Amino acid sequence: MKNCQRFLVAINLLFSPFFLKSQVKITMDNVKATYAAGEKAAFRISSNVFGTGSYSIWYDPRDESSVIKKGSFTIQQGRSDTVVLFNLPHPGAIFFKAEQNGQVAWVSAVFDPHNIQPIETEPSDFDDFWKKEKEKLKAIPINPQLTLKNTLPNGSKLYVLRLDNVDGRTVNGYIAIPAGSGKFPAIIQLPPFGTVPFEPDGFVVTDFAEKCKSIIVQLTVHNTPPNQEDSNAYKPNDLTDPTKFYNRWMVLGGLRAIDYVASRPDFNGSLGLCGNSQGGGLSITLAGLDERVKAVLAIAPANSEQQGTRYHRASGFPRYNIQGASLGMDTNKVKIASKYHDAVYFLKRYKGALMIQTGYKDDVTPTATHFAAYNQYLGAATMLHLREIGHNYPEEYWFGRYSFFHQHLTGFENPFSFKKTYDIQAGEDQKEVLLDSVILRGRVYKDGVLNDSLPVLWEKVSGVGDVSFENTKSRATKVKCSEAGTYVFRFSSEDDYLIKDPNQAKYYSMRDLVTVTVKKKDDNSGGSVDAEVKGIRVFPNPSTGIFRVKWESIYSYKRLHVFNSKGLLVYETPISTDVKEIKLDLSRFQDGNYMLTFTNIYNRSVTKHVLKATKD
């Protein structure tokens, strides 16, 4: 009996927390890790070892001052898990950490992500500051110097590139030019943080120049050739004066590269930017400063929400305020100066195509900082949500660039079968619409094809009064507004085809905004419900079925979609862009209201309402 008892004691010791290595895991009750503000999120902590552990909730896992809550948990004998409930009352993102016997697990959750906004406002002279900096750059000749490095297999040329920048500095990198005499689109790839010399990215240069028929510029941000070490990289860097930030030289260097590309006779005018981390932050910064940029793909963009640390919230690398404090700089001056370099303030000025990729477990540039920048953009945009990824790069960056630029840049060829492209349209802005006569019509495209299966949602973003949607989850919906004034509506969609795959755990979201100005019936300020839209005239209207449609010569429409009063597509036809008048026959359709939606060469749309009514 004693031997048996000793054996049981030994077994218990062997499998006690002191002898077993914990395997701590955290799962959430929402597979997308996304919640409404104020909604309770359930964090289920599991372990193979019973006993106690601790948990903590953070805004920024690299900032001890950002801890929101701490507590303990117990894995009881006979059970393998315990649940912690938490809600964030405002838009934001949090990191949840669980620890037991030295073993740590992390997850992240976002609350009302599409309403996360910058903590502070931009400086009142933000535009004037950058206008003056751009004028300084303009006064310096580009002075391009290209040194042939080698000729690629199909005849494309690879050069070391050098341009002149402000303050006697230079812009450096590589440039590859496709073979042939045609005009080409161009891509500028901005670099992540680093000082290590590098050779041209063969994967990018070979593919972009040879297979995609695109000019490709691969930049460094330092003052030496890209294959040489710069001993003064990121120095000097006076964070109390916005004109003395090292980032200023990086931004002006990027603008100088755009100047040079735009000056080339073989450039077709279609320019894209891409980059990860520091390169992602620079991409969205340059896009807000230069209207020549047509498409931006940024992954884990750094430099966003620099004021976060002052409020014990998330802040993206390089965390200027923490840097300044550690160097003994005047913290108030750092706060003011860093605002001119914060990436969150640039996208509201950008009007091209945008895609941002965010990893929810990113502790270098937390996902809340990505949303704070992304939500400033006023156009149609796509975001890739990566639930299980930190500050690294998925295949959607390496291969997704090809499909993204093929979608948005004229002349860019995609050599791969990888697609995953999305487009969403909330419709053209509307003016002088009656309070109870607002009709919203949205469209979603996947891989270039109109898609009617992905879920959609209409929401009010801003407006003077209350609104009532007939159906928030329909592509076409009527809206009643309580007060006259201006309203902004958001049309969004998601494709979550991989979110439940634990090895993928990612999904796409798309959204676009539309502004509608509504009036009361007795408002005589001008216009009417049937006011001409973008020069389009339809007559007769109503009609028994045959309508003539004409538009002004300055507009180029490429496709017409006709929807019935239920929002169902009943007819579509391509339009030659040099045609300015068509005859539309709806005689075979039932009497009722129809929406004619015209798409222009920039993939923007306008809607005209007509009534088919048979004569008595």
**Rg of the chain in Å (alpha carbons):** 28
Q: Are 347 and 284 in contact (CB under 8 A)?
A: yes
Query: 511 phi and psi, to 5 degrees?
Result: -155, 150
Residue 601 has what pLDDT? Answer: 67
Question: Tens digit of pLDDT for each residue in 120-129?
Answer: 999 999 999 9
Task: Decide if pLDDT at 119 tops 90.
Answer: yes
Could you give the CA distance from residue 508 to residue 455 in angstroms, rounded to a whole number?
Answer: 12
Instruction: Give the DSSP per-residue string, 296-342.
Output: EEEES--S--TTGGGGTS---TT-HHHHHHHTT--HHHHHHHHGGG-
- The answer to whether the CB of 234 falls within 8 A of the CB of 248 is no
**496 against 13, higher pLDDT:** 496
Q: What is the pLDDT of residue 613?
A: 83
Share of the chain above pLDDT 90, in %: 67
Residues 41, 46, 49, CA angle at the centre, nearest 5°? Answer: 155
Which of 504-518, 544-558, 591-605 tops mean pLDDT? 504-518
Q: Helix, strand or coil for residue 589? A: coil
> Does 15 score more than 60 pLDDT?
no
Which residues, 6 or more positions from 326, have their beta carbon under 8 angstroms from its beta carbon? Answer: none
Q: Peptide bond preceding 153: is omega within 30 degrees of 0, i.e. cis?
A: no
Least confident of 144-153, 161-170, 544-553: 544-553
Stretch 21-39: mean pLDDT: 92
Q: State yes or no: pLDDT of 539 exceeds 90.
A: no
pLDDT in tens, 465-511: 899 999 999 999 999 999 889 999 999 999 987 777 777 789 999 99
- Structure-token pair, residue 54: 């601790």
Would you place residue 524 in the very low, low, confident or very high pLDDT band (cuts 50, 70, 90)? very low
Residues 22, 489: Cα–Cα separation, whole Å: 49
Element (H, E) at 573: strand 569-574
**pLDDT, tens digit, for every residue of 226-252?**
999 999 999 999 999 999 999 999 999
Residue 93 · residue 107 · CB < 8 Å: no
Of residues 17 and 197, more confidently modeled: 197
Decide which of 336 and 501 is more confident: 336
Of 410, 500, 406, nearest in space to 447 by CA: 406
Facing residues of 582 across strands? 549
* Separation CA 278–CA 217 (nearest Å): 16
With a cut of 80, say whether residue 158 has pLDDT above it: yes
Query: Residue 329 pLDDT > 50, yes or no?
Result: yes
Which residue segments constitute the domains of the chain, with CATH numbers given? 2-115 (2.60.40.1930), 136-408 (3.40.50.1820), 422-519 (2.60.40.10), 537-612 (2.60.40.1930)
pTM of the model: 0.82
Q: What is residue 572's predicted lDDT score, i.e. its pLDDT?
A: 84
pLDDT reading at 566 higher than 90:
no
Query: Within 10 Å of residue 265's Cβ, how many Cβ atoms?
Result: 6
Torsion over CA of 204, 209, 215 and 218, rounded to 10 degrees?
30
Nearest to 339 by CA among 314, 302, 371, 307: 307
Q: At a CB cut-off of 8 Å and minimum separation 6, what does 355 contact?
A: 296, 297, 298, 381, 382, 383, 384, 400, 404
- Checking if the pLDDT of 531 tops 50, the result is no
270-295 pLDDT, tens digit each: 999 999 999 999 999 999 999 999 99
Do 160 and 378 contact (CB within 8 A), yes or no?
no
State the Cα–Cα distance between residues 27 and 45, nearest whole angstrom. Answer: 7
> DSSP states of 257-304 as a string?
HHHHHHH-TTEEEEEEEEEETHHHHHHHHHHHH-TTEEEEEEES--S-
Least confident range of 52-66, 398-412, 435-449, 492-506: 492-506
Residue 271: CB partners within 8 Å, gap ≥ 6?
185, 186, 187, 188, 258, 261, 262, 292, 293, 294, 295, 409
In this prediction, residue 581 has a pLDDT band, given cuts at 50, 70 and 90, of: confident
Q: What mean pLDDT is predicted for residues 306-332?
A: 95
Q: What pLDDT does residue 604 have?
A: 67
Secondary structure in 3-state letters for 214-230: CEEEEECCCCCCCCCCC
Write out the two tokens for 66: 């950002």
